[in-house]
Amino acid sequence: MKIICMLTAILGPTACAGSNPNPGERTVDVAWEKYDYETVFEVLKLAAERGEPWAQLRMEVAYELGSGVEKDIPVAIQRYEKVAAQESEGEWVNSLQVGAMGKPGYFNQNSDALFAKF
């Protein structure tokens, strides 16, 4: 629940509501809220390995808080640095354009990078 509250506070309600152009993000957020870490990491790990910023950000938070994994601050910092460096240009990565206009998994990429820097 802590992760959902943090991400909603930082990213706004679009992080958890409605259709989402980041495949798997809504599934992960709902499962996380229910402490269903098996589902969380089943979806999250694959998306993070593909390099999707939304998934990498959630993996970092998991390691920072010890949610569903053993708490590991050095790993969290290393992962935060990867997402923080993934800034790009365009309406899609700034969550200003919704639809099939950008690479799946990268919608709102710059907000994820900003959160990782914080």
Give the pLDDT of residue 15. Answer: 46
Whether 21 and 104 have beta carbons less than 8 Å apart is answered as: yes
CA 92 to chain centre: 15
Predicted structure pTM score: 0.67
Q: Which residue has the tokens 């509501």?
A: 17
Q: Where does residue 108 fall: left (phi above 0), alpha (psi -120 to 50 degrees), or beta otherwise?
A: left
Give the pLDDT of residue 28. Answer: 92
Quick one: pLDDT band at residue 12, thresholds 50, 70, 90?
A: very low
pLDDT reading at 72 higher than 50:
yes
Spatial distance between the Cα atoms of 68 and 10, rounded to a whole number of angstroms: 21
Q: Which residues, in sequence order, are CB contacts of 53 under 8 Å at separation 6+?
A: 83, 86, 105, 106, 108, 109, 112, 113
Q: Which residue has the tokens 């809220």?
A: 33
Whether 83 and 53 have beta carbons less than 8 Å apart is answered as: yes
The DSSP call for residue 85 is T
Quick one: pLDDT band at residue 97, thresholds 50, 70, 90?
A: low
Length of the chain: 118
Neighbours of 25 (CB within 10 A): 23
Q: What percent of the chain has pLDDT over 90?
A: 28
